[in-house]
Amino acid sequence: MRHPERVNTSSPISKRERPRWRHDFGLFWFAQGTSVIGDQVREFAVPLIAVTVLHVSSVDLGVLGAAQWLPFLVLALPLGVVIDRYRRRTLLIVSEFARGILTLGLAVAAAAGLLGFPLLLIAAILLGTFTVVYEIGHQSAIPSLVPRDRLGFANARIQATAAAGEVGGPGLGGVLLQIFGVTVTLAVNAATHLLSAAALIAMRSQETRPPTAKRHFFGELRTGALHVMRDPYLRANVGFSAIYNPFAQWVTLLLTLYAIHDLGLEAAQVGVIFSAGAVGALVGAASASRLARHASVGRIMVLCAVVECTMLVLIPAVAPSWPALMSVLALAVIMGVNGAGTALSSVLLITIRQLRTPDELLGRVNATMRCVTYGTIPLGALAGGFVGEWLGARLGILVGAVLCLSTIVWVALSPLRGVQSLDDLALDFAATERQAPAGGAKAPSEVK
């Protein structure tokens, strides 16, 4: 394989431009942080509402978990093409307003006593649809907001803020549910998304509209998928998440049931456990840039896979006979270490994706990635629900965690293991286009 051309990471940026990108990235960063808090409150509270208020079964909980992620499987690819055709910030604003209004509608339904499982299921699908737009759009927007040599910095800050939101989100959701009830919890969630939309509107820069020349939808769809398939590092990237994510969802879904029904924990205590996972994620994300500069990226990736998976295997060791405080502390440590590994690997995977993809393809590439990596999550949720119903939550967690160990094998055998530095993976797409012979130029998606 031809060694990729390296990017000159000293991209010039004038003093006049610097304050603008810092201002806009600051607002973007704030919007993402408030959005994450809302996501985490909702993702934590909805299963708890289903278990403690609606008293659903393990299978129903699996169906609800699958519904939240199903739009990634069905809609991620076509929405990726849409995101590359329109101004990304506009789409982010629309998605945040939509999620805010939908969640506010759930709060009104709860206040009126109309909140039931069918309504919760429909809302989960609609919220998941707009989440697809936001997830693909916000990752695709980052390279246009910051200089190329600051991508690692920006991704680390975004991931650290996501982790910080995950710290407060579950804890806030647990406290709100336990003290104020369902209506207030959902109303707070709605407010975070509306605040995020307001921050995005306040950004100064005028986003350039993508070229309006005649474009073929399915051809664009194919270009994004081929770019991922032809790049060995992107294939390894997508495989890592596609294997780990469904089993992690399987385990965390059943952990909610296990904590409430078997360990006898309260909503606020379960919130502490998931918040501890986010504390670990904050540490992992904050250390990503420094570790990537001073250690082999490949070794870090393998270590992350080992840490993430083995921690999940330890969850069933927490027995129902343990005192509640001991159970909370043990699960908090387990989830904290797991979160650190997950966040660290996420920063590296996202940065690799951006370094290997030209800006005009980012929406479609992120969509392809999300379709596969998040599209497998509904399968994990459904499988976890059925296995939990059959074997019980504790054994169901063990089965999912053992299957998750296959992630370690994938990473250890992939090209990611041999990566020494992120700079080794960076491609200079402009240089590639200049050097390509006339009439036989290769598209960026064909660069290996």
Render 121-154 in DSSP notation, one character per residue.
HHHHHHHHHHHHHHHHHHHHHHHHHS-GGGHHHH
For the chain, the structural domain boundaries read 19-206+214-433+441-446
Residue 339 φ/ψ, nearest 5 degrees: -65, -35
C-alpha to C-alpha distance for 165 and 178, rounded to whole angstroms: 20
Residue 223 φ/ψ, nearest 5 degrees: -60, -45
- The pLDDT of residue 432 is above 90: no
Quickly state the pLDDT bin for 52 (edges 50, 70, 90).
Answer: confident
pLDDT of 446: 31
What's the chain's average pLDDT? 82
| Cα angle, residue 71 at apex, residues 119 and 87 outer, rounded to 5° | 115
- 79 and 132 Cβ atoms separated by less than 8 Å: yes
Report how far apart, in Å, the C-alpha atoms of 388 and of each of 258, 274, 318, 397 are.
10, 20, 17, 8
Which homologous superfamily is 19-206+214-433+441-446 in? MFS general substrate transporter like domains (1.20.1250.20)
One-letter amino acid at 230 equals R
CB under 8 A, 24+ apart: contacts of 8-16? 8/428, 9/148, 9/149, 9/423, 9/426, 10/149, 11/147, 11/148, 11/149, 13/147
Mean pLDDT in residue range 35-49: 87
Q: Between residues 37 and 407, which one has the greater pLDDT? A: 407
pTM above 0.85, yes or no: no
- The pLDDT of residue 132 is above 50: yes
